Amino acid sequence: MSKTVLTYGTFDLFHVGHLNLLERLRELGDRLIVGVSTDAFNTTKGKQTIVRFEDRLRIVQNIKCVDHAFAENSWAQKAEDIRQFKVNVFGMGNDWEGQFDELKPLCKVVYLPRTEGISSTRIKDALRVLDKAHVEELKQALGVISTIVERFE
């Protein structure tokens, strides 16, 4: 009997941490299906993506270990997706530990370790230095530092 694993994510700025998690989840079953959060759903979560939904979905659909990817439109759809896809295992990164335990009556729920040192949030923070407003802040800070240094010359 085949075992189906289900996970969800935004998968913005796809990186090796995403790939590692998907590969580990795929090892838990014979089939991995992935819900990719839509831009509209991310807005309700207070998230703004850099990569648009259609591109994020296409990326996930073309990952070798993913058998099927589809749109995630709401928190509420998870239970219905578990029933529809006959899911045996629901898995997420351990940063979500305990957040989906209400699904345990429907299937096994697992939380796997994240890849240390990488996340979309960290990448976005690193890219923030390229933002015009941040560059202006840096220029102002350099001006203040220059003034202080001049006092000691």
Q: Which residues are catalytic?
A: 45, 47
Tokens of 31: 């089939």
Neighbours of 19 (CB within 10 A): 15
Using DSSP's 3-state secondary structure scheme, residue 4 falls into strand
Q: What distance separates the 2 farthest-apart alpha carbons in the chain?
A: 78
Give helix then strand counts, H and E, for the chain: 6, 5
Contact (CB, 8 A) for 101 and 111 = no
